Amino acid sequence: MAPRLFVLLPPSESKEAGGSRSRKPGTFDAALDTPRSEVAQALGALVESGRSIDIERTLRVHGVLLERAIEASRAVAQGRARLLPAWRRYNGVVWSHLDPATLSPAHRRRILVPSGLYGVTTAQDHIGDYRMKMNVVLAPVGGLATFWRPRLTPTLVKHLEGANVVNLLPKEHGVAIDFAEIGKTCHVITIHFVVEGEAVVAGHEAKAVKGILARQLLSEGLGALDAFEWQGWRSDQEARGHRIVTTRGRATEVAVAYRGRT
């Protein structure tokens, strides 16, 4: 029997509003309930008694989006957030190209999503609306990536033992996990999305292809890396599938097409 395959994907800043107050048990609730509560309470304290400038800097939104983020933070801290499965909550570029509605629940449980508020969930787990990036500092817990790293790592070591794990995370989320430690008990493959002939790793323009690749991996298995090709992006065979490359012209076209979407 082939090893299980998991995909690590980032959350999206863009999120669907609403949901239900009914709660279903999540995959990592038992392991992460206490640190999640610490983050939620710190977030609640910030929006209730913090300075306006500190709230805005931490939530990193303005205007109507800030108002929504403050109310969502209150709801999370008070335990009254409306919940949706993560695959329905996240609606940015990565997730729209993943098209999770057409994946099975079993596939969605193999998508792991690190986040500043929840630590990590599967795409099938229920989450609230929130605005909390992994790279912010939130008093009194401190930098969230630093806070989560010693808590996420042993949790994921146990969950991923013996599996193949494809890491599609940006640095912001990747630093919250000790991949050297996880790699002792499972096979981790970190994918870099790059512009051919350039040293800089592709950023925003790689979001669409990241969703497409994740879908193919979940549907077809690890072999999908070897022959991957989509709209000018292709697997770099010399790197054994660890790099997905494109040309500068194509990367620019994609960046323009998805500018303003997350």
pTM over 0.75: yes
> How many angstroms separate the CA atoms of 129 and 74, rounded?
11
Q: pLDDT for 166-213, tens place per residue? A: 999 999 999 999 999 999 999 999 998 988 877 666 667 789 999 999
| Of the candidate ranges 38-42, 88-92, 138-142, 254-258, the one whose mean pLDDT is the lowest | 254-258
CB 165 within 8 A of CB 182: yes
Of the chain, the percentage scoring pLDDT greater than 70 comes to 90
Beta bridge partners of 190: 167
Q: pLDDT for 13-27, tens place per residue? A: 999 999 998 888 999
Short-list 130, 157, 30, 153, CA closest to 72: 130
Q: Residue 242's pLDDT is what?
A: 83
Joined tokens for residue 17: 């509003």
The DSSP secondary-structure symbol of 239 reads G
Q: Residue 202's pLDDT is what?
A: 63
Short-list 20, 73, 68, CA closest to 42: 73
Q: Residue 35's pLDDT is what?
A: 98
On the question of pLDDT at 241 being above 50, the answer is no
**What single-letter amino acid sits at 194?**
V
Mean per-residue pLDDT of the chain: 91
User: Where would I find the H helices in 204-245?
Assistant: 207-220
CB 46 within 8 A of CB 73: yes
> How many angstroms separate the CA atoms of 68 and 31, rounded?
29
Joined tokens for residue 249: 């012209």
